[in-house]
Amino acid sequence: MSAHCQLTGRAPGFGKSVSHSHRRTSRRFDPNIQRKRYWLPSEGRHIRLTLSAKGIKTVDTIGIEAAVARIRARGEKV
């Protein structure tokens, strides 16, 4: 599963870990990605979305129908 939110588009960030001696090594900052199942009443079926924690809160605010419309507007298949 890729660390990518279908709704907000959040993806991993990259940077460096800096040790006490100030040596730098590459690291990756992953978003908090969850797989969540929603009932889509307009199509009479469940859908499974890969969302960040912020994406889940956005679905709670705007509703699943509007969220799916945004995802489809970006060209992703649901």
For 50-71, write each residue's pLDDT tens digit.
999 999 999 999 999 999 999 9
Q: How confident is the model at residue 2 (pLDDT cuts 50, 70, 90)?
A: confident
Q: In which band, very low, low, confident or very high, does the pLDDT at 14 lie, cut at 50, 70 and 90?
A: very high
Q: Parallel, antiparallel, or unpaired: how do β-strands 45-52 and 33-40 relate? A: antiparallel
Residue 1 confidence (pLDDT): 53
pTM of the model: 0.85
Residues 4 and 62: their CA atoms lie apart, in Å, by 20
CB 31 within 8 A of CB 52: yes
Mean pLDDT for the chain overall: 95
Is 40 within 8 Å of 64 (Cβ atoms)?
yes
Summarised one tens digit per residue, pLDDT across range 42-55 is 999 999 999 999 99
